[in-house]
Amino acid sequence: MNESTPDRYGVVGFPVHHSRSPLIHRLFAQQTAQHLTYELIEAEPGEFEVAVRGFGAAGGRGLNVTVPHKEAAFELAKDLGSEAREAGAVNTLTFKAGRLRGDNTDGIGFLRDLTQNLGRAVEGRRVLILGAGGAARGIIPPLLGGGVGRLVLANRTIERAEQVREQFRSLGAIDIARFDELAGEPAFDVVINATSAGLRGERPPFPGDIVGPDSFCYDLAYSRGDTPFVAWASEHGAGEAVQGWGMLVEQAAESFYIWRGVRPDTAPVIRELIDGRGGAR
């Protein structure tokens, strides 16, 4: 039995009560015999900095950062990992010797799930990202770094897609489009949903042409039942469509590694989350 005080970690977001991160990090800690606690910290945008500094002052070791605070965390961190600098967003904060370090593990988590867990290649493939918000920005650096054949970024608001293209210009070429401009394109090899379209019950506004029997569809979102995008992709004849549970666990594993220097085995944790929702990926 370890009688010492456990190291404190947590996730800060708004809202955050639905987060699965405490469960994931608890499973990692059990598996790797790490003595730690992991809590939920709800902070509205105006309260973010005070919440982070208070957690550090109370001896906290690290925080995951979720919507809507990833850009604010980027501004706050004194030292930045290269992925955080590229994405302009931070999802992992580490308190070390009075300094705050910011990393971004979203891109690595996504790429590991797609290529290692799901066995899908991106090199040379035609890849389409739907959406141009924070979630899209997090996955662009690893896709460009992974040698995609062509990367198309489609968004309802084209100006936002243009901004993202400029932000990543030094990393590689991105073609941009409105959703209706994708009609008539041959089906993409990989289609990634980074929008919140459909979450309010409306039909996702994507032309059916973008997916075909050889398309692999990945939703960065996840839910108990099918997400609207997974349902849409299946209806439109996509070869396969999965939710982002694996990315959620992989980005957490990378944060855990940054904090503890130990790499947890992600497969049983992904299994447990998927079984917990009583369905397939």
- Residue 79's CB is within 10 A of a number of other CB atoms, namely 12
The binding track of 154-183 with respect to ligand ATR, each residue x by CB under 6 A or -, is -xxx--x-----------------------
Q: Which of 19, 91, 195, 243 binds ligand ATR (CB under 6 A)?
A: 195
Binding segment for ligand ATR (CB under 6 A), chosen from 6-14, 107-115, 133-141, 239-247, is 133-141
Task: Give residues with Cβ within 8 angstroms of 151, minimum separation 6.
Answer: 127, 129, 140, 143, 144, 172, 173, 174, 175
**CB-CB contact of 160 with 138 (8 Å):** no
* 223 contributes a contact to ligand ATR by CB under 6 A: no
The pairing of strands 92-96 and 62-65 is antiparallel
* 207 contributes a contact to ligand ATR by CB under 6 A: no
Interface residues for ligand ATR in 64-123 (CB under 6 A)? 67
- Does the active-site annotation cover 70? yes
Closer to ligand ATR by CB, 156 or 165: give it. Answer: 156
Rounded CA separation 28/233 (Å): 32
58-71 burial, b at 16+ Cβ within 10 Å, e below that, comes to eebbbbbbbeebbe
Closer to ligand ATR by CB, 16 or 132: give it. Answer: 132
- Residue 275's CB is within 10 A of a number of other CB atoms, namely 9
Q: Which of 73, 135, 233, 252 binds ligand ATR (CB under 6 A)?
A: 135
**Residues contributing to the site for ligand ATR (CB under 6 A):** 67, 131-136, 155-157, 160, 194-197, 202, 205
Active site residues per annotation: 70
